[in-house]
Structure 1
Amino acid sequence: MRHALYLPPFGELADPGVLGELAVQAEEAGFEGVFLWDHVVRPKHAGLEVCDPWIALAAIAERTERVTIGTRITPLSRRRPHDVARQAIALDRLSGGRFVLGVGLGGDNGGELSKLGEETDARTRAEMLDESLELLGQLWSGETVTHDGPHYRVDGLRFVSGPVRIPIWVAAQSVKPGPLRRAARFDGLCPETTPDGLRAMLAEIERQRGCLEHYEVAVGGRPGDDPEPFREAGATWWLVTLPEITTVKEAMDAINRSGPPSPGQ
């Protein structure tokens, strides 16, 4: 199991330079990944500073050498797929192939979607997510893309000169067939569940894929939580998840206190 730091880019952490420095410290402490929440506003905390995670990931990519970086998760229904495709390519190149795109439905927490005029119907957002994922694959294929779907359109454009391969990890919260079918088509799972729930989810994904070889499973837990039950259930990543509002000092304390176990432990 690999260990990563999962940072909320809000408040004192809403600064790309600060997040870049925390990523450097995490890499030096032995973490193998640094992931960011992807939000544009936190309505429940009026006036809370929020950093664009994609800009911050660029800063992190520039300042680190080894850690895997990415979003967990990007709600694709509130982003244009061609913009995500282009930004992901840039981060993949800037990081030397270390970027992972985590995707999901997202939610209207405190009005995060509705107050900005975004789609709030879960079924429609799921349709947009699936269509966006289909389009990302086409745009990264190196082929000319013609797509006329219910939500997005591409009229005969070739987006890149050759195929681009960027891992996609898909969020799911239960054994409902739709999210697990979606997750099974891609490279990894970002579950929100218990160890027993994870076993059930992975059993269904394995049934659909045929095997779980090279399939990543990124589970989050608070500093001090025991990752072992999730490792036994099939998780391949443990993301040390900091609270929504975290100070720089608290983040540094978590890095120093929650680093991966030493070899042999």
Structure 2
Amino acid sequence: MTRLRSALWLPLFDELADPTAVARLAAEAEETGWHGVFVWDHLRWRAPVQQVADPWITLAAIATATECLRFGPMVTPLARRRPAKVARETATLDLLGGGRLTLGVGLGSDRFACELSATGEELDDRQRGRLLDESLEILTAAWSGRPVHHHSRHYTVDGISFLPRPVQRPGVPVWAAGLPGNVRPLRRAARHDGFVPVNLGHPDQLADIVTTVTGLRRPNTTPYDIAVPLPPGADPAPYAKAGATWWLAEFAPETVTLDQVRGVLRDGPADIGIDMERTR
């Protein structure tokens, strides 16, 4: 039996667009017993949001302001990032944090801010899925420390070694996000280290997801994470019983404030025991 781990899941908007302020929140969260701080990855958001911080710079600030909590982008749409650059960023960030980075990945969406269409990115979900999977192949190869030889229509990495390697071995843990009921993201997540269900409506949905992922991962017996976003005040216990290993305390992006986040973190993390065998 272990404990459900708890993390703040922060949209880096307006009052939270200051990396120094977010780093202070992370340090306070660590002192209060929280296990992680994860941040959104967006270029912009719909009104009334005006200010948006870069996640990678903010994560570097978090890494230097804390000692033991886990951190990372949750989630980064890899299809709009160059995988070779992300390989360097993730290895360096994991080194900076002493092996505490988790890389959350997903397709991204044009729905909330039109940020994909506004910057000329790929809009087709299937195509972005292919780009995501190919990027993850490159990252996995890069984290090995061996020369990467990847040639495709989308990406070329010709004999580059990405050293120094991440502290974590064989590489940075990857959590893949997806909508409940869509099996393709579950297959992707089963190949990696965790799953983040987006827009989860009920613990029964999560139980079905855990059953599916467990079946896809057999005979793999390595630890696996299921990270469930829930608003503060929601009861994470039914989700922990269904197989969640992390609770991500989520905040409304249009109204989040430093005081609101500080109030939640001072309430402390969830204190719920879980049976880890459900997530193996």
TM-score by length of 2: 0.89
Give how far 1:160 is off. Answer: 2.3
Counterpart check, 1:167 vs 2:178: no
Distance in 2 between the 1:57 and 1:47 partners? 21
Is the Cα–Cα contact under 8 Å of residues 216 and 237 in structure 1 kept in the other structure?
yes
SS of equivalent to 2:102: strand
**Do residues 2 (structure 1) and 12 (structure 2) align?**
no
Deviations 1:162-200 (A, max 9, x none): 675110000011232211110000001111223111111
Is residue 2:189 matched to residue 1:183?
yes
Alpha-carbon shift at residue 159 of structure 1 (Å): 2.0
Kindly tell me: are residues 97 and 78 of structure 1, through their superposed partners in 2, closer, same or farther at Cα, counting changes over 3 Å? same
Partner of 1:82: 84
Q: Identical aligned pairs, as a percentage?
A: 45
User: Which residue in the other structure is 2:155 paired with?
Assistant: 152
Q: 1:251 aligned to 2:257?
A: no
Q: In the alignment, does 2:248 pair up with 1:239?
A: yes
Aligned position for 2:66: 64
Change (3 A) 1:21 1:117: same
Asked whether the equivalents of residues 188 and 217 of structure 1 are also in contact (C-alpha less than 8 Å), the reply is yes
Q: Is the 8 A contact 1:206 1:212 kept in 2?
A: no
Distance 1:142 1:115 in 2: 36
Q: 1:47 to 1:221 in 2, by over 3 A?
A: closer
Return the alpha-carbon distance in structure 2 between the equivalents of residues 36 and 220 of structure 1. Answer: 12
**Which structure 1 residue ranges, 5 or more long, are not aligned?**
none
In 1, Cα distance between equivalents of 2:21 and 2:221? 36
Native 8 Å contact 2:91 2:164 kept in 1:
no
Aligned residue for 1:195? 203
Contact 1:168 1:187 in 2 (8 A): yes
Structure 1 Cα separation of the partners of residues 67 and 147 of structure 2 = 34
Q: Which amino acid aligns with 2:174?
A: I
Q: Secondary structure at the match of 1:219?
A: strand
Aligned to 2:107: 105
Unpaired runs of 5+ in structure 2?
274-280
- 1:223 paired residue among 210, 223, 232: 232
Cα deviation, residue 161, structure 1: 5.6
Counterpart of 1:119? 122
**Which amino acid is the alignment partner of residue 11 of structure 2?**
P
> Could you say what the CA RMSD is over the residues aligned between the two structures, in angstroms?
1.7
Amino acid at match of 2:234: D
Q: 1:128 aligns with which of 128, 131, 142?
A: 131
SS at match of 1:3: strand
Contact 1:30 1:260 (C-alpha < 8 Å) held by counterparts: no
Alignment partner of 1:206 is 2:209: no
Contact preservation (8 Å) 1:103, 1:171: yes
Report which stretch shifted further, 155-164 or 66-75: 155-164
Distance 1:233 1:172 in 2: 17
**Residue pair 1:221, 1:238 contacting (<8 A) in 2 also:** yes
Q: Distance in 1 between matches of 2:151 and 2:184?
A: 23
CA shift for structure 1 position 27? 0.9
One-letter amino acid matched to 1:92: D
Task: Decide whether the 8 Å contact of 1:57 with 1:69 is kept in 2.
Answer: yes
CA contact (8 A) 1:171 1:189 kept: yes
Does the C-alpha gap of structure 1 residues 262 and 130 become closer, same or farther in structure 2, counting only changes over 3 Å? closer
**Maintained 8 Å contact 1:75/1:104:** yes
CA distance, structure 2, for counterparts of residue 213 and residue 144 of structure 1: 26
